[in-house]
Amino acid sequence: MTAEVGIADVEHDDLLTLSRLNTNDPPKRGNGTPSRMDASSQNALGRAVVDRIARCPICLSNESLVVRPYRARLPRTTGVFVGLWIRRCTTCSACFAHPVPGADALRAFYAAEYRAEGSPHRVEREPGRWDGPWIRARAQYEFVLRHAAFDQVGRVPERWLDIGAGYAFLLDEVRGRGVGTTAGIEPEPHGRRRLTRSGHGAYGTLEDVKGRWDVVSLSHVLEHLPAPMRFLNEIAATLSDEGHVLCEVPNEAHLGDATNDAPHLVFFETRTLTHLFEACSYEVLAVQTCGRKREGGVWGATLRMLTRRVGMRLFAAPPRWLDRALHHHFHYSQSGRQWIRLLARRSRHRVVSGVQRRTER
């Protein structure tokens, strides 16, 4: 995964001033005695510092407030993601990490650490059809067919590009469903080896991608990027005339309760994800939360677990009806579930300098 930083580094004096403004201690004079700066002056100074050092990656506003310290508690993340804060944009309400780690540090982390031995993101054994990677892949493919034009005309996409393809389980699934040309972008070596071994096209970066694609998928990618707006604008060039973008991210509606933030840089809710795509001149066709509910019933979970165990003894792969009944990846609601799944296409009405202009295809 590549990452580019569009925000300037923060100087030490800015951080020092900001840290003082976020405490109840009054500013000190040079002799160590409290100054007589009133509240309005402190607020004005604080706003000047915040405006200069923090910019919302969703709406590009400079107006934001500190929510809490960033929590980096997974192995191998503390070095890169130390000293960050979670901020909330007062314009669009999006939450984001700040200051953003440097581009070289992020690139090195994803290349060497993200799927290193012992990492929770590393897959050591080939998963079966009852395992999470395959279940998610089936649910994502069917989400695209349900909400895109492909299903209405009885055909499947011809070309599918997966950005941040990982171990290529989604590409394996769509190829098995009849997609003719599949390729992925995956710079991380461990995942890339399986991607190429499975016979999919492989690219190192977005700039390397050739041709136009009917579906471009971003599964748990956008939350890792410091400049998601620029990224969505760049991938528009890879879409065919009727191309669609599938995006899935964690639902961060309860960010305050999170025990770990790393390595995410942007924290989406349904509204902010929709706002981002629309700001980048996409038409959002569907957006829903999916996965487990925040608070599920114990008896229902127990029944699903027992049914799943029986099903695994009877079937090598879950039948379609059982797949949908058991697995949360197929369960949707407007809010309250683990992930946000969105399907969009490039809008026929592009926003140019604040004026909507119709683009001819």
Tens digits of per-residue pLDDT, 180-189? 999 999 988 8
The band of 45, judged by pLDDT with boundaries at 50, 70 and 90, is very low
Distance, in Å, from the CA atom of 229 to the CA atom of 358, rounded to the nearest integer, reads 21
Phi, psi of 28 (to 5 degrees): -105, 145
Express as a percent the part of the chain with pLDDT over 70.
79
**Per-residue tokens: 21:** 């403004």
Give per-residue pLDDT as tens, 162-203: 999 999 999 999 999 999 999 999 988 888 999 999 999 999
Tell which residue, 93, 217, 205, 194, has the closest CA to residue 143.
217
In the predicted model, is pLDDT for residue 3 greater than 70?
Answer: no
Residues counted in the chain: 361
In the predicted model, is pLDDT for residue 358 greater than 70?
Answer: no
The band of 6, judged by pLDDT with boundaries at 50, 70 and 90, is very low
Give pLDDT, residue 79: 82
Phi, psi of 182 (to 5 degrees): -130, 145
Give pLDDT, residue 350: 52
Give pLDDT, residue 11: 30
Distance, in Å, from the CA atom of 255 to the CA atom of 265, rounded to the nearest integer, reads 13
The band of 155, judged by pLDDT with boundaries at 50, 70 and 90, is confident
CB-based contacts of 67, cutoff 8 Å, min separation 6: 85, 86, 87, 88, 95, 255, 256
Give pLDDT, residue 152: 63
Give pLDDT, residue 35: 40
Give per-residue pLDDT as tens, 300-338: 778 888 988 888 899 998 999 999 888 999 999 999 999
Region 154-160 average pLDDT: 88
Q: Which CATH topology does 132-358 take?
A: Rossmann fold (3.40.50)
Parallel, antiparallel, or unpaired: how do β-strands 239-250 and 337-346 relate?
A: antiparallel
The per-residue DSSP string of 239-302 comes to EEEEEEEEEEEE--TTGGG-S--TT-SEE--HHHHHHHHHHTTEEEEEEEEEEEESS--HHHHH
Nearest 5°: the CA angle 59, 89, 356 is 20
CB-based contacts of 357, cutoff 8 Å, min separation 6: 349, 350
Give pLDDT, residue 97: 96
In the predicted model, is pLDDT for residue 41 greater than 70?
Answer: no
Tell which residue, 339, 333, 231, has the closest CA to residue 276.
231
pTM confidence score:
0.80
The residue extents of the domains of the chain are 12-112, 132-358
The band of 274, judged by pLDDT with boundaries at 50, 70 and 90, is very high
In the predicted model, is pLDDT for residue 281 greater than 50?
Answer: yes
- The distance of Cα 144 from the centroid of its chain, to the nearest Å, equals 17
Give per-residue pLDDT as tens, 53-111: 689 999 999 999 999 999 998 877 778 898 999 999 999 999 999 999 999 999 888 88
Give pLDDT, residue 89: 96
Region 156-160 average pLDDT: 93
Give pLDDT, residue 218: 97
Distance, in Å, from the CA atom of 63 to the CA atom of 240, rounded to the nearest integer, reads 37
Let me know: does 67 contact 95? Beta carbons within 8 Å. Answer: yes
For the chain, what is the mean pLDDT? 81
The band of 28, judged by pLDDT with boundaries at 50, 70 and 90, is very low
CB-count burial class (<10 Å; 0-12, 13-18, 19+) for 348? exposed
Give pLDDT, residue 30: 39
In the predicted model, is pLDDT for residue 19 greater than 80?
Answer: no
Give pLDDT, residue 48: 37
Give pLDDT, residue 113: 83
Give per-residue pLDDT as tens, 219-256: 999 999 999 999 999 999 999 998 999 999 999 999 98
Distance, in Å, from the CA atom of 46 to the CA atom of 196, rounded to the nearest integer, reads 51
For the chain, percent helix, then strand, then coil, each to nearest 5?
35, 25, 40
Q: How many CB atoms lie within 10 A of CB 67?
A: 15
